[in-house]
Structure 1
Amino acid sequence: MKKDMFVRVYLTNLGKYVEGYLIGEWVDVTTNTDWNEELKNIGVKANSDYEEYFITDFDSNIDIKIGEYTSISELEKIAEQIEELNATVDVDVFNAILDCSSDFEEAYNIAINGDYTYFDNVNDNSDLGHVLVDEGYLFSGDLDENIKMYLDYESIGRDYVINVNGSFSDNGFITLH
């Protein structure tokens, strides 16, 4: 079952915070979010004593960095990217891509362009070795079963991990192209 990615931020009224009051609310970062309405809900509006907000906290099921002063336009961009990713890739696969890449933007581009191979239910070097041999990633044609029983699948998997930009994730192994 495919799981979608999400990001939520806790928007806080900066002026009220400085005065000693924590006025804010959790907001889902989606393409449907009306940011002007959300800011108005916490008392932030132009030409008033309370024109500024900051992000007190955030929650997500992906390894994304959201700073205190992340702009609304940046949040809107993140929402668009997450919507596109949710149509393309499972959250577990995306988190595996994130493990192998330098940041969210690079992982986003890899996921959208399909520049990866994901082996589901591969949890260790031995599992990986079996997949590589049994599914024909290493040898063209079928390998005789009498030969397969002599193969060191763990070493095959270990050597593959060493030679590719890959990583084990919670549910599989991913390699970037």
Structure 2
Amino acid sequence: MTQLKLSVKGAREGVALNLPATPAEVSEACAWFSRLNIDPSEVQIIGVNSPIRKLGQYISGANVHSSEDIEKLNRLAEAIDQMDSREQHIFAGALDAESINGLDDVVKLTTHLGDYIILPNIDSDTELGRFLVDTGYKNFPEAVQPYLDYRAIGAEYYAENGGAYGPGGYVRRKSSLEQTPEHRDALITLHLLTQRVAETMAEPYRLILPATDEELDQAKAQIGVDHFTEATIVKAEFGKPYLAELIPQDCICVEDANELALGIEEMTQRDGELLKFLAVLSVEQPETMTDALRFAMELDDYERITEGTYEYGQSVLRRHGADDELLEAMDGYMDFAKLGEASMIEDGVRQTEFGLIRRCSTPFPEETQTMQMGGM
């Protein structure tokens, strides 16, 4: 909760105003000073209680008698309330890292937290330098590492990249290469838990996939691990319907999940590919996410059938060399639908809720078929 302390210069007493506040609540708070023979128009913000450290120094100039400023303060308070602990730490560090010139800049910053990264528990040049060496960002032979000037290494990086040491760690703005494209969807979200996450965050860390190699390295740094195998995946969420029901969520590997997310992203860019993948999953029934990734990589071995038995019968003949002229000549003398129905069974075509699907290399086993051909 964000709370303003209102008073006048030189006064020993003041009144608290919880945000967000209605115009009536603001008026009531200011009217309190009238009972002390203090002009309410002299009332100003003299302090702030907030989860965001030093927020008061950035908003103390706001005018509590301005309905416009109160509306902005309310938006700010609501934004802070919706932040998790990691986002609050980023916000606090970003305030110190940027040149803030008034309330508008503070409110605007709440909508751009994704432009920043935080390296938790790093509060000095020395700690930053040690982190850069330990993670391999600055590559030094292990034999010389005990003799390195970590403070100088961290100070050099700080000078080049800017940022600030906030209450939750080192915060800096992402470079242009680190910016996640706005159009990229969160296709898989993994909720990760580590000792550092448990100690510094209110909830598991959310890893958004697909991600670049650099984004994955940054995530490792933020949760305090060298390898994702050191983290516990407590939950996986999928950004497309039906995937959660068709992809197993036991024994998930972060790297496989990222490759799968990249594959799904490519599928969404080609008409019918995601439906084909869903149909494949429903028939193949993968036992692990690694199996699901394998089916995604082998998707060209499957064909999604969008035609009925009549058209399928004709396509079978085309596979054997018949051209359109021959098919036209045969029309009326051959039951294409019957041929199509028999060929679907022979080809192992399966009926799924996502449409008909067949495996091109080796047909699905006949003994497990559940497809109903009638009425096609």
Residue in structure 2 matched with residue 137 of structure 1 by the alignment: 137
Residue equivalent to 2:87: 89
Whether the aligned pair in 2 keeps the contact of 1:7 and 1:58 (CA below 8 Å) is no
Q: Is residue 118–residue 174 contact of structure 1 (8 Å, CA) maintained in 2?
A: yes
| Cα offset, 1:99, TM superposition | 0.7
Higher-RCO chain (CA-CA 8 Å, sequence separation at least 6): 1
2:64 and 2:97 map into 1 onto residues whose CA distance is 26
| Higher Rg | 2
Q: Name 1:157's counterpart in structure 2.
A: 154
Taking structure 1 as reference, are residues 43 and 110 closer, same or farther at Cα in structure 2, changes over 3 Å only?
closer
Aligned to 2:47: 59
Whole-angstrom distance in 2 between the partners of 1:153 and 1:87: 28
Does the residue aligned with 1:38 lie in a helix, a strand or coil?
helix
Residue number in structure 1 paired with 2:4: 8
- Runs of at least 5 residues in structure 1 that lack an aligned partner in the other structure: 13-23, 45-52
AA matched with 2:45: D
> Hey, what does 1:125 align to over in structure 2?
125
Three-state SS of the structure 1 residue aligned to 2:17 is strand
Is the contact between residue 6 and residue 45 of structure 2 (CA under 8 Å) also seen in structure 1?
yes
Instruction: Report the Cα distance in structure 1 between the residues aligned to 2:26 and 2:2, rounded to whole angstroms.
Output: 20
Q: Label 1:67 to 1:108 Cα distance change in 2 as closer, same or farther (>3 A).
A: same
Aligned length: 145
Cα pair 2:94 2:171 within 8 Å, conserved: yes
Q: What stretches of structure 2 of length at least 5 have no aligned partner?
A: 9-13, 32-39, 101-105, 175-376
Residue 110 of structure 2, aligned match among 108, 111, 115:
108
TM-score norm. by structure 2 comes to 0.33
The letter of the residue matching 2:155 is R
Structure 1: how far apart are the matches of 2:85 and 2:144?
42
Note the aligned Cα RMSD (angstroms): 3.2
| 1:77 paired residue among 75, 78, 102 | 75
Name the residue aligned to 2:173.
176
- Hey, what's the Cα distance between the residues in 2 that align with 1:99 and 1:134? 26
1:29 and 1:76 in contact (8 A); partners too:
yes
TM (norm. structure 1) is 0.63
Which one-letter code corresponds to 1:160 in the other structure? Y
Q: 1:106 to 1:160 in 2, by over 3 A?
A: farther
